[in-house]
Chain A
Amino acid sequence: MDLLKAENLNRSFGGLKAVDNISFSVGECLIKAVIGPNGAGKTTLFNLISGFLRPDSGSIVFADREIAGKSPFQVAEMGMARTFQHIKLFPKMTALENVMTGRHIHSRAGFIPSMLHLPGMSREEKFIRERSLEIMESVGIMDLADIEATDLAYGQQRAVELARALACEPRLLLLDEPAAGLNMRETAEVAGLIKKIRDSGITILIVEHDMSLVMGISDEIIVLSYGEKIAEDVPLAIQKNREVVRVYLGEDDA
């Protein structure tokens, strides 16, 4: 059963084909990685899937619904959450408040009920807070709850961003370079965490440069080069794929 299915996706910027006729699918409860050299179109692909960019052509079906051209918030409401290559936390809000904001689609209070603090508001707030703390605990950052998010160390900020995405309780989680800027120990922790998230039933699509991380955790890997898909397979097969090796190492295999 495919949770996400992209067909013949295209997106150009000026004359540059950033994503060139890419098709792929992600099966439920798998970790699928997208790799490729810089400028291969990985982030563009992510932005197309999460609604931040509109494809020039092609279709994206998520949970049996067409989502190409939908806004990011609509895609989020359908059960897709993401993190960003450059961490985007909400400044002047504590780590807990950041995570609580991730509960947005699972809570309802609107303008007027919130202003009047209608009955039920307190209960909902309490539930949002408790659920957010649970999620922070599962990511191991419970003790950071009351610290302003942007004051945290880099690795901790990544964890808060991940917790915020998990607070959406997504079916599909897009991780854009979750190990960027992390040291080896932190990367290993992230790897363990990602597997744990997958085991909890969340499908993961990940863009990553760190090969050890990708090879260690992925169930399947897609390789992009200059906007085109050049390979899609299990990690072992990708490692042996001569085209992939050539793209990565610039090896002359003549």
Chain B
Amino acid sequence: MPGKRVLQMAGLITGVITVQLLTRFTGTGYFLTQLTMSAYYSLVIIGLCLLIGYAGQISLGHAGFFAMGGYISALLTTYNLLPYKDNAIIAVLMKTGILVVRTNLYGSEILYFQPWVACIIAVSMTVLVAYLIGGPILKLKGHYLAMATLGLGIIVYRIVLGSAFFGEADGLSEVPAFTLLPGLKVSGNLSVRISNYYIAWGLVIIAFITLLNLVDSRVGRALRSIHGAEDASSAVGVNTAKYKLNTFVLSAAFASIAGVFLTHYNGGIGPSEASVMKSVRYVAIVAVGGMANLWGALIMGVLLNFLSLRGYFGSFDDAVFGGILIVIMLFAPEGLIRVDIFRYLKRAVSGEKAGEQNDGSS
């Protein structure tokens, strides 16, 4: 099993490096910006794929979790605490390095939360909200769950759009770079474009591998069993409520982390990131990818987000994703990518006959 995983990881890393080299030799380095952003959106999508495709629970509110991560970390890293520096608590936080000082474009000093601290607070708060809300709403099924999560998404959207705190329609800007390690920072600055491409994809690959591990495990079987026959699942001892909630929270955490990173990369975040159309887009991409197909979700996540970010869909952008959702539901509810690509490739390489290999992974 781990051998297979190493192979999968090697394949992904090769692909990522190949794409970067291609852009280098074809002089299309500017593609890396959208590929980096697509990677972060794909992180939301693979998390959502676990929730929808494996646990069988819909969410039309994941843009809300993405926005929570992005907005909270943006607020914590842009709100100037300098006027309160004489406050005892602030002073202690400064001493411990939780609060740091930077000089902005206009030469004035800003006292703000260290991005790592902001990131941890943002993701923890998202997880807490997902946990508190997920408990009651995951008791709902089907359309009712869809509507409840839609409501959650709308609430987050209205809050960020309506509060001066979060910059209303302008959102928050001037978000500083996020230094992960000395010399390695998440930032949209052109000089670090290539390293940011690898940061984003490194994060996605790690997340993706953990999800592949998960669906191939006892937990993965339990999730699929809930999706397939919830009664029978509880009859074999699966605590279905707990598993659904954990998956919901996990996927919210993925969305939140993506929100934090993309906000630092873009240097800001606006209310459109929290909009319902974003949530619909994520669901549409999971559907195109084949619902219970992490590979499909990843590939479609990168491809469609890249096309969208490059502006290929023009002013029809949102309409394209709405249209995709309708067409998929009508004609291919199992998604476009049905085969396990990795298994297919392995079979093609080794020349095995179809049907011989059945290792239960997806």
Contact = CB atoms under 8 A, between A and B. Distances in A.
A226 interface: no
A104 B218 CA distance: 7
Contacts of A124: 218
A92 B228 contact: yes
Interface in A153-191: 161, 164-165, 167-168
Contacts, number: 116
Interface stretch (B161-169, B235-243, B277-285): B235-243
B182 interface: no
Contacts of A51: 234
Interface in A68-86: 71-73, 76-77, 81-82, 84
Given A72-B235, A89-B229, A114 B219 contact: yes
Given A90-B224, A101-B221, A115-B213, A73 B229 contact: no
B292 A94 contact: no
Contact of A101 (B210, B233, B250): B233
A72 B240 CA distance: 10
Contacts of B1: 117, 122, 125
Nearest to B224: A93
Interface string A98-136: 001111110111110011110001101100100000000
Contacts of A242: none
A116 B221 contact: no
Chain B interface secondary structure, helix, strand, loop or mixed? helix
Contacts of B228: 89-93
A105 B2 contact: no
A146 interface: yes
A117 B219 contact: no
B232 interface: yes
B123 to A, nearest CB: 15
A176 to B, nearest CB: 11
Most A C-beta atoms less than 10 A away, residue of B2, B217, B238: B217
A65 interface: no
A50 interface: yes
B213 to A, nearest CB: 5
A79 to B, nearest CB: 10
Nearest to A80: B235
Interface string A194-212: 0000000000000000000
Interface residues of A, number: 46
A220 interface: no
B225 A101 contact: yes
A193 B34 CA distance: 61
B352 interface: no
Interface in B130-161: none
B220 A168 contact: no
Interface in A37-75: 50-52, 71-73
A108 B233 CA distance: 16
A111 B221 CA distance: 12
A107 B237 CA distance: 11
B237 A105 contact: yes
B294 to A, nearest CB: 13
A116 B1 CA distance: 13
A73 B237 contact: yes
Contact of B233 (A90, A109, A117, A167): A90
A246 interface: no
A219 B226 CA distance: 35
16 contacts: A73-B237, A73-B238, A81-B236, A88-B229, A90-B224, A92-B224, A93-B224, A101-B222, A104-B221, A111-B214, A114-B217, A116-B210, A122-B2, A124-B218, A164-B232, A168-B237
Given A73-B234, A104-B238, 4 more contacts: A76-B234, A81-B235, A90-B228, A92-B292
